[in-house]
């Protein structure tokens, strides 16, 4: 079964003014669609067609580069869209909030480390909050469309929060001001979804 572009759960305008509608339309409808199309082409006629995107990522070293780039692109963006929501932001609560405090000291310190990971990723890539194998939380970043599920990743874990820092994610509105985009992201973070992913990973 071929991979498909997942629909957004909100209108492209819904995250304004933090993420503009034009960026959302192009990012979802053009960039993500291209990853899906190219992933399907790269897997056509192979056993990979029968696997989930998570299974492919976990064994990515066995696949050619187009699968790594486009498969990562499909997994990363599919997750990213669900981690944002209109009328979101605020603070995490419950077990997730306690885990963040335990790992980072407090929420502000977590945000600082995450923003640093996002800002210092040279070129294109992603910043992550992950649950590691020992069930603790960590912040890291990956280049290009790699992610922490991949067996080749330097930092491995189950992603529960992700931020796309490719220029295509912010350039129309923020131009070269990546830190401003990262700062605005906190206004649209869907902490309910992050908490759900945290629970599933535990």
* Shortest distance, position 148 Cβ to Mn ion, whole Å: 16
In whole angstroms, what is the distance from residue 176 CA to residue 157 CA? Answer: 30
* Shortest distance, position 112 Cβ to Mn ion, whole Å: 23
Quick one: which of 92, 85, 83, 95 has its CA closest to 193?
A: 83
140 vs 169, beta carbon nearer Mn ion: 169
Quick one: which of 133, 149, 158, 132 has its CA closest to 72?
A: 149
166 is an interface residue for Mn ion by CB under 5 A: yes
In whole angstroms, what is the distance from residue 165 CA to residue 191 CA? Answer: 19
Length of the chain: 202
164 is an interface residue for Mn ion by CB under 5 A: yes
Residue nearest to Mn ion (CB): 164
Stretch that binds Mn ion, among 54-62, 83-91, 100-108, 160-168 (CB under 5 A): 160-168
99 vs 127, beta carbon nearer Mn ion: 127
By the criterion CB under 5 A, which residues form the site for Mn ion?
164, 166, 169
């Amino acid at each position: 079964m071929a991979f498909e572009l997942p629909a957004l759960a909100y209108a492209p305008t819904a995250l304004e003014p933090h993420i503009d509608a034009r960026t959302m339309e192009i990012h979802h409808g053009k960039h993500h669609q291209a990853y899906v199309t190219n992933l399907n082409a790269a897997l056509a006629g192979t056993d990979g067609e029968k696997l989930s995107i998570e299974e492919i990522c976990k064994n990515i070293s066995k696949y050619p580069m187009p699968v790594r780039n486009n498969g990562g692109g499909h997994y990363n963006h599919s997750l990213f869209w669900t981690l944002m929501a209109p009328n979101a932001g605020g603070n995490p609560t419950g077990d997730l909030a306690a885990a963040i405090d335990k790992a980072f000291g407090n929420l502000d310190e977590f945000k600082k480390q995450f923003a640093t990971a996002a800002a210092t990723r040279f070129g294109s890539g992603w910043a992550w909050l992950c649950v590691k194998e020992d069930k603790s939380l960590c912040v890291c970043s990956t280049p290009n469309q790699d992610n922490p599920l991949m067996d080749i990743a330097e930092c491995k874990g189950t992603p529960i929060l992700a931020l796309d820092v490719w220029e295509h994610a912010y350039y129309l509105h923020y131009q070269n001001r990546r830190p401003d985009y990262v700062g605005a992201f906190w206004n649209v973070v869907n902490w309910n979804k992050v908490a759900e992913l945290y629970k599933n990973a535990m």
